[in-house]
């Protein structure tokens, strides 16, 4: 989101870096969008059971370009994201994950969205686990896109990273959570 976007900072350390120990504290804030969603899985053994949730970061550079991860084989683009381990600070996880997957060091400007995700198994009504997905707004403060992420042929995992002023023509928005996050930021 650009222009009139209002990002709400959680707390800041003495050094000015944002921290977020418990996303539930964001639920009461009027300046943060809170959504609730259900993710259906085939079994109880899925990627959401051993972590507290996921961080997603909408990183914009001084040209208002968005840092995107693309996969040409699947023809999709998503925002940089990562997993939050139990007890880990959510803002620290966001900074660490973006740098790890892209090579770009970032500063966080605030939280844009808190997604409360209930995980259910097909044909079960009650969630067996709930997690959060926090979408942060950020900006680059150093580093460069890793050599192995400069293009689809450069790395071994088929994901590459680029700065883009919108959804690249050769990519689409995937279904599900990562697609919902990117759509929200692009709208």
Select from 3.40.50.2300, 1.10.357.10, 3.30.980.10, 3.90.79.10 the CATH code of 31-186: 3.90.79.10
Strand 33-41: give its sheet, edge to edge: 33-41, 104-121, 129-143, 53-59, 81-84
Instruction: Report, as an integer, the average pLDDT of 129-153.
Output: 89
Please give the share of the chain, as a percent, with pLDDT higher than 90: 49
For the chain, percent helix, then strand, then coil, each to nearest 5? 15, 40, 45
| Total-model pTM | 0.83
Instruction: Report, as an integer, the average pLDDT of 37-46.
Output: 63
Lowest mean pLDDT among 12-21, 24-33, 51-60, 134-143: 12-21
pLDDT beyond 50 at 7: no
pLDDT beyond 60 at 13: no
Residue-level pLDDT at 116:
82
């Amino acid at each position: 989101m650009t222009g009139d976007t209002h990002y709400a900072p959680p707390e800041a350390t003495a050094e000015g870096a944002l921290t977020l120990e418990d996303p539930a504290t964001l639920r009461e804030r009027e300046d943060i969008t809170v959504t609730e969603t259900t993710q259906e899985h085939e079994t109880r053994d899925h990627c959401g059971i051993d972590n507290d949730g996921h961080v997603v970061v909408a990183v914009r550079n001084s040209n208002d370009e968005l840092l995107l991860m693309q996969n040409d084989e699947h023809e999709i683009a998503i925002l940089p994201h990562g997993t939050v381990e139990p007890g880990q600070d959510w803002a620290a996880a966001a900074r660490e994950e973006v740098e790890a997957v892209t090579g770009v060091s970032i500063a966080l400007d605030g939280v844009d969205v808190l997604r409360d995700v209930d995980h259910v198994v097909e044909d079960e009504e009650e969630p067996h686990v709930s997690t959060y997905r926090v979408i942060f707004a950020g900006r680059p403060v150093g580093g460069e896109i890793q050599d192995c992420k400069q293009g689809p042929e450069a790395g071994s995992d088929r994901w590459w990273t680029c700065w883009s002023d919108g959804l690249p023509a050769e990519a689409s928005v995937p279904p599900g959570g990562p697609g919902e996050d990117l759509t929200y930021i692009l709208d």
